[in-house]
Amino acid sequence: MMLHMQYIAKQFNLPSLEGISEKQVKVHLALYEGYVKQVNLIMGKIQALKEAAKTAEGGSPDGKPSRDAAGNAYLIAELRRRFAFEFDGMRMHEYYFEQFEGEKGGDRSSALAKAAEEKYGSGENFIAHIKEVAGSRGIGWVVVYADPRAHTLHTVFVNDHELGQLAGLPIILALDLWEHAFMVDYVPAEKKNYVDAFLANLNWSVVEKRFEAAK
């Protein structure tokens, strides 16, 4: 029997964050680890059901696949539909937490800074636009993408991380706006304070490296 790979939850080297408490980070990391667990669970369930379906094939007297085989195929299809939710939840949180590792701040003369100035007029306008998009009603993510084909940036609001992503575009910044990301520290009406704290703690060199890799 072929064994499926296992994803392992990443360990992030996070400094103390201003405006985002240690308890909030701990709660958020636990949620991330849950996504990793579910990704592995779905892959394992699909493999087990496929093996069971092979055993069940031809099990009926007329040589047709048994009801178990047909039922397993249905379950596998539903698990595959669920997989994107769990996988994207895992990967988006890895983008999120990696942005806090190392020294906060960034290089105003970087290629990313120049691209932001070209698209938004200035670095300050870029930050203001991120905050504007983050102010969209509802829960979801603010995602900044690099578009290597058009040599530009896109800052968008993504409601569900498995839906609405821009096809083929590398993610360079991910801001989690689901309430689990901030409600230990802030009530929903204070979401903008959490966004301010996120941006204040951001290590822009991580974002800049992603941008360079996207070229």
**Quick one: CA dihedral 73, 79, 84, 90, positive or negative?**
negative
Mean pLDDT within 126-134: 97
Are residues 90 and 45 part of one domain? yes
Integer Cα distance of 208 and 211 in angstroms: 5
Integer Cα distance of 206 and 197 in angstroms: 17
Are residues 33 and 71 part of one domain? yes
DSSP summary character for residue 161 = T
The verdict on pTM exceeding 0.75 is yes
- The number of domains in the chain is 2
Decide if 6 is inside a domain: no
For the segment 7-44, what is each residue's pLDDT rounded down to a tens digit? 999 999 999 999 999 999 999 999 999 999 999 999 99
Range of the domain at 39: 22-98
For the segment 35-59, what is each residue's pLDDT rounded down to a tens digit? 999 999 999 999 888 887 666 555 5
Are residues 200 and 118 part of one domain? yes
What is the average pLDDT score of the chain? 91
pLDDT of amino acid 57: 55
pLDDT of amino acid 3: 60
Are residues 85 and 133 part of one domain? no
Residues in contact with 53: Cβ distance below 8 Å, sequence separation at least 6, in sequence order: 65, 68, 69, 72, 73, 76
Integer Cα distance of 89 and 94 in angstroms: 9
